[in-house]
Chain A
Amino acid sequence: MLINLLIISLVTVLFVTLSRKRVYVQFFAQIFFLVQVAFATWAVLNRGTTTLTYFTLDTLGVAYYVLMALVGWICCWQSSRYLDQESLRECKIYLVSLIALNVALTGVYFANDITVTWIFLEATTLAAAGLTYHRRTMRSLEATWKYIFVSSAGIAVAYLGILLLSTVSASGAAADLSYAALTQAIASGAGNPLYIKLAFLFILVGYSSKVEVFPFCTVGVDANHSAPTPASAFISSALVGGGFVAVFRVWKTMQGAAALASWTGHVLLLVGGLSLLMAAVYLGRTKNLKRLASYSTVENSGLMMLGLGIGGLGVWAAVLHSLAHTLIKGSFMLQISVVGKMYGSYKAARNGGYFRADPLGALVLVCCLIALIAMPPSVLFRTEYLILTGLLDKGLWWVFVPVALLLVAVIYWLCVKLLPLVSRPADLSRINREARNPLLSAVLLLLVLLTFAAGVWQAPELVRLVDTIVY
């Protein structure tokens, strides 16, 4: 089935490239995303299947794939409105890059071998670069160059980590570099522990530009800033999810050995804390709505790393946090794309009166804000509560105090910079009210309300889903 999806992707790309009218280009792109939704349904029904040797439709991969299919389809829909002024050629390059990013992420989600994950993550760099360079301005060139350069250097470092991990395989304890074989081999004490520790460090640093955590998170922020906003929505939700899946799978292989589990925990706590620090500092400095949303991603990814670092219930919280964040951030960014289209600018300080101009859109923004700052009934309140209490339970009060303070700073900056956009009086005649998209806002509102429902009601299916991923 996966090979069918690949063939359909190639055929769609061919049709998108050859079409001479915008309406056909958008039609074929929509067809691709609808096929993806159908494949997501098939993947849910066929969980556990291994296909083409290197891909397994496990619960973790399927959960993220379903979310990606959903967010991807909405992104494609909004893109057709957002890019209405672009030339046909630019539109084609954009949609082909978006489809390529989807295919690459499908590989990342389902790969059961560490090398295959790495190959597809490398491919995401190329596809995301196509989206980042869309505007062809000096600024987008800068963002694209930095993204390709830093991501590639990071990915090369991650590869060094994989090579270090392959010493476990070379020792004969693991037959290949599949996650299952590595988990078994590491749990049985195979390989040099120092090499495995270094491997985790290198892989985490290498993947940090994808999962948007310290140290390479800034290139992701710049890429989000330069890409068209619907593409930024996809990058900061599905691609960040892909990065999390990659880190989570590597982290999980090392949990069988107590010393390695402790080491990875400490590294993740450090990375998570530093990511939160970066997010809090830069959220205070930035004046751009897209960068604001991107730094919020850095904050949330930092919290996911903290959750993994704590272990136990923290891991459960981290996985749920990541799943919910994919939906919330996707919705937030997509609504911001409507704001940008209406105001012609993403300057937070310059715009206002959004509630009067687009009440439904403003409601989506406020709900997303509530969700992102983890106020009840947001599901992120539940996950952050678990992470913070997890820190106290482990006696890590020296981590808890700065993390809590940084979270307060994040909440403050997000509210101070977003709420005036909704409530500040402004001259509405300057606003392009034609750019409103009430249907999109209604769908986004539904998605955010879904995450609110997960925050107040502990649905057994959701608990089972996260349990299956974690344990």
Chain B
Amino acid sequence: MLLLFIIIYAVSLLYLAVAERFRHYAWLVGLQGWLLMGIALMQLGPGESWGAKIFVVAETLLCKGILVPYLLFRIIRNTKINRVSRKSMSAFVSILLSVAALVVSLSITRWVSDSQAGTLFFGVSLFGLLAGLLLITTRQRIFSHLVGFLIIENAVFLFSLAVGAELPMLVNIGILLDILMGVLMLGLFLSKIGDRLPNLDNEKLSSIKD
């Protein structure tokens, strides 16, 4: 079951490369939130305290699985922009880059594989990090950049599961803070940027020059 969840997670990252509508981005981010909740609960095991389980569910399901996708859909509704910019890279080149990122991640994972961090978790979270960075660098609209950041956050969360459940509570609090930062960015986007930049192109955010 755990393997299935991780594979679906990796496929969702590949699908991000070809998705052309922001609605699909929001769905995929939501799906990843639910998958992360499943993976985290399985990693915690039956012996874990209820407090730890509730904390993880609050982190993943409420924030990543419900709140973040809800805010993304609200931004899409408010800005009325649904398509990834036409000037961005074609879907074919994107998927090629994404597959290359997957191959690079798996190669690095083979090279650095270690008993202290689950190899599969490490590889997929590294792929998530690269997929997020690709989204930020190859897409033109700021909304894509925001989704890229959320994908990186999810990758960091997955990696935190890779290094073991015996991590200090502080690490979990750190992850929660990271998620809150993402929510705050969504709020800023919703309340400030969406109103001022009708087509959400990053070209409009390049007035600061030397």
Query: Interface on A for B, CB 8 Å cutoff?
Result: 54, 113, 115-116, 118-119, 122, 125-126, 138-139, 141-146, 148-149, 152-153, 155-157, 159-160, 162-164, 166-167, 169-171, 176-177, 191-192, 194-195, 198, 222, 225-226, 282, 285-288, 291
- 8 residue pairs, one from A and one from B, having the closest CB atoms: A286-B210, A115-B170, A167-B116, A285-B210, A142-B205, A170-B164, A192-B114, A152-B181
B159 at the interface (CB under 8 A from A): yes
- A-facing residues in B128-180 (Cβ within 8 Å): 129, 136, 142, 145-146, 149, 152-153, 155-156, 159-160, 162-164, 166-168, 170-171, 173-175, 177-178
A318–chain B nearest beta-carbon distance, Å: 27
In this complex, how many residues of chain B approach chain A with their Cβ under 8 Å: the count is 42
- The residue that A149 contacts in the complex, of B112, B162, B174, B185, with Cβ under 8 A, is B185
Q: Which residue of B lies closest to A146 (CB)?
A: B205
B77 at the interface (CB under 8 A from A): no
Contact A159–B174 (Cβ < 8 Å)? yes
Known interface pairs A160-B129, A163-B171. Does A225 touch B181 (Cβ–Cβ under 8 Å)?
A: no
Contact A177–B149 (Cβ < 8 Å)? no
Which residues of chain A are near B86, meaning CB under 8 Å? none
Contact B174–A118 (Cβ < 8 Å)? yes
B151–chain A nearest beta-carbon distance, Å: 10
Which residues of chain A are near B162, meaning CB under 8 Å? 163
Contact A159–B208 (Cβ < 8 Å)? no
B210–chain A nearest beta-carbon distance, Å: 4
- Considering the chains assembled together, what is the distance between the CA atoms of A225 and B209 in angstroms? 10
B49 at the interface (CB under 8 A from A): no
- Considering the chains assembled together, what is the distance between the CA atoms of A286 and B164 in angstroms? 48
Query: Interface on B for A, CB 8 Å cutoff?
Result: 112, 114, 116-117, 129, 136, 142, 145-146, 149, 152-153, 155-156, 159-160, 162-164, 166-168, 170-171, 173-175, 177-178, 181-182, 184-185, 188, 192-193, 196, 205-208, 210
Besides A115-B168, A156-B152, A282-B210, 10 more A-B contacts (Cβ < 8 Å) are A118-B174, A149-B185, A156-B153, A156-B156, A159-B178, A160-B156, A163-B160, A166-B163, A167-B163, A176-B168
- Considering the chains assembled together, what is the distance between the CA atoms of A412 and B136 in angstroms? 37
Contact B171–A177 (Cβ < 8 Å)? yes
Task: Pick the most buried of A119, A143, A286: most chain B CB atoms within 10 A of its CB.
Answer: A119
Contact B167–A166 (Cβ < 8 Å)? yes
Which residues of chain A are near B175, meaning CB under 8 Å? 159
A327–chain B nearest beta-carbon distance, Å: 26
B104–chain A nearest beta-carbon distance, Å: 14
Which residues of chain A are near B188, meaning CB under 8 Å? 144-145, 148
Known interface pairs A170-B116, A195-B112, A195-B114. Does A155 touch B166 (Cβ–Cβ under 8 Å)?
A: no
- The residue that A167 contacts in the complex, of B117, B136, B145, with Cβ under 8 A, is B117
- Considering the chains assembled together, what is the distance between the CA atoms of A164 and B112 in angstroms? 12
Contact B145–A149 (Cβ < 8 Å)? yes
Which residues of chain B are near A142, meaning CB under 8 Å? 205-208
Known interface pairs A113-B170, A156-B178. Does A288 touch B196 (Cβ–Cβ under 8 Å)?
A: no
Q: Which residue of A lies closest to B149 (CB)?
A: A153
- Considering the chains assembled together, what is the distance between the CA atoms of A282 and B160 in angstroms? 38
Q: Which residue of B lies closest to A283 (CB)?
A: B210
16 contacts between A and B (CB under 8 A): A54-B170, A113-B170, A119-B174, A142-B205, A145-B193, A148-B185, A152-B178, A162-B174, A163-B162, A163-B163, A176-B168, A191-B116, A192-B112, A194-B112, A195-B114, A288-B210
